[in-house]
Amino acid sequence: MKTGLTKKQKVTEVFYNAKDPTAEIYTHDTKLKKRLLAYAAKYPELCRQTDDDGQGGLWFEIAKEQISIRLTAPYSQERREAASKLAKENNTFRDLHEGAIKR
Residues 47 and 96 placed together within one structural domain of the fold: no
Residues 94 and 55 in one domain: no
Nearest to 47 by CA among 1, 58, 56, 69: 58
What is the per-residue pLDDT across 47-93, written as a single tens digit (0 to 9) for each? 999 999 999 999 999 999 999 999 988 889 999 899 888 888 887 56
Cα–Cα separations (whole angstroms), residue 10 to 57, 93, 96, 101: 8, 33, 34, 37
More confident residue, 16 or 98: 16
Cβ distance 93 to 87 under 8 Å? yes
Which pTM was predicted?
0.71
Residues 50 and 84 in one domain: no
Total domains in the fold of the chain: 2
- Same domain? For 12 and 54 the reply is yes
Q: Which domain holds residue 20?
A: 7-66
